[in-house]
Amino acid sequence: MNTPALSVVIPVYNEEQGLAALFARLYPALDALGIAYEVLFVNDGSRDRSAAILREQYQRRPDVTRVILLAGNFGQHMAILSAFAQCRGQRIVTLDADLQNPPEEIGRLLQKMDEGYDYVGGVRRQRQDVSWRRHASWMMNRIRERITHVVMTDQGCMLRAYSRDIIQAINHSQEANTFIPALAYTYARNPGEIEVAHEERAAGESKYSLYKLIRLNFDLVTGFSLMPLQIFSLVGVGLSLLSALFVIYLALRRILLGPEVDGVFTLFGILFFLIGVLLFGIGLLGEYIGRIYQQVRQRPRYLIDTILQSPDEQPPAAALLSRPETHS
């Protein structure tokens, strides 16, 4: 099991209600592939019984299961990164824990990789989510398409397969906030896509609030493109030219027609519009400066509490020194 053909990475955050159903479908689907595999669950600081359930599952299938218990909630993408640093497979598949990505589709992703693709993204056929999320995500996909170089039909689908090379490149990048499917795309030599099924959440509720979704999309857009800033400065140039003309026009009127107060509200309207544009620009600057700030602090992106894995997975020295939490 030291270099299995496949590593499956699953982030888990407060998923106690759905985990049993996930195990019941995941393991048979992987066994059916007939290849050596490992499953890495990452508990992203769940506050429910998820960690205990993962521990039980590890005891049930220690041969193919590894569990990373993070020391807090670091977010889905950081959780996946922590597993990327630990996984050993030749190919790596990521998947959500809520069964929205059917594990039976993993085989099809691998088949597509056999055709020579080093990165295969899933595109959700008939996405089963609430309609505002479908529409917002459609719009974000289009915006991202325009302003980044990342080509993806469905950025929100986490059912994706990556080659070892891409994971290694990701492990070497030290970004503080990132969006894994887009990061992987920048390192892929031959990316492909296939349609995959999508199901309703098996149990529990979405871990993404509107706020978290907006944050995630800012990470995606500002992390992979400078264009928002560039567009903003272009808009700024255009607007300041227009307002310069407007000031000249007002000055001429003052000279030719004398003082006048009519149309003050129009003036206010224009002023408020300009202030709005300015505030948006400052906010946008803040997004980038915030990223720089997080980057220079160089805080660890996640903290691992424990890793549950069988002893032959441990580096030899460590295995001799201590064997807590291991089973043979």
Interface contacts to ligand UDP, rule CB under 6 A: 11-13, 15, 44, 73, 75-76, 79, 96-98, 100, 206-208
CB 22 within 8 A of CB 58: no
CB 116 within 8 A of CB 187: no
CB 109 within 8 A of CB 194: yes
Residue closer to ligand UDP by CB (options 208, 288) is 208
Query: What is the per-residue DSSP string for 120-175?
Result: EEEEESS--S-HHHHHHHHHHHHHHHHHSS---S-TT---EEEEHHHHHHHHH---
- 308: enclosing H helix or E strand: strand 304-308
Q: How far apart are the first and last CA of the chain?
A: 13
Q: Which residues within the stretch 203-222 sit at the binding site for Mg ion (CB under 5 A)? A: none
Residue closer to ligand UDP by CB (options 80, 120) is 80
Q: Which does 13 bind (CB under 5 to 8 A by kind): ligand UDP, Mg ion, none?
A: ligand UDP
Q: Does 100 help bind Mg ion (rule: CB under 5 A)?
A: yes
Size of the site for Mg ion (CB under 5 A): 3
Q: Does 44 help bind Mg ion (rule: CB under 5 A)?
A: no
Distance of closest approach, residue 201 Cβ to Mg ion, in angstroms: 5
Q: Which two tokens stand for residue 197?
A: 């099924």
Residue closer to ligand UDP by CB (options 73, 314) is 73
Q: Which does 225 bind (CB under 5 to 8 A by kind): Mg ion, ligand UDP, none?
A: none
Distance of closest approach, residue 308 Cβ to ligand UDP, in angstroms: 17
Rounded distance between C-alpha atoms, residue 12 and residue 69, angstroms: 10
Rounded distance between C-alpha atoms, residue 99 and residue 145, angstroms: 28
Q: Does 98 help bind Mg ion (rule: CB under 5 A)?
A: yes
Residue closer to ligand UDP by CB (options 13, 37) is 13
Residue closer to ligand UDP by CB (options 50, 222) is 50
Distance of closest approach, residue 156 Cβ to ligand UDP, in angstroms: 6
| DSSP 8-state assignment for residue 204 | S
Q: Which does 207 bind (CB under 5 to 8 A by kind): ligand UDP, Mg ion, none?
A: ligand UDP
CB 62 within 8 A of CB 91: no
Contacting positions for Mg ion (CB under 5 A):
96, 98, 100
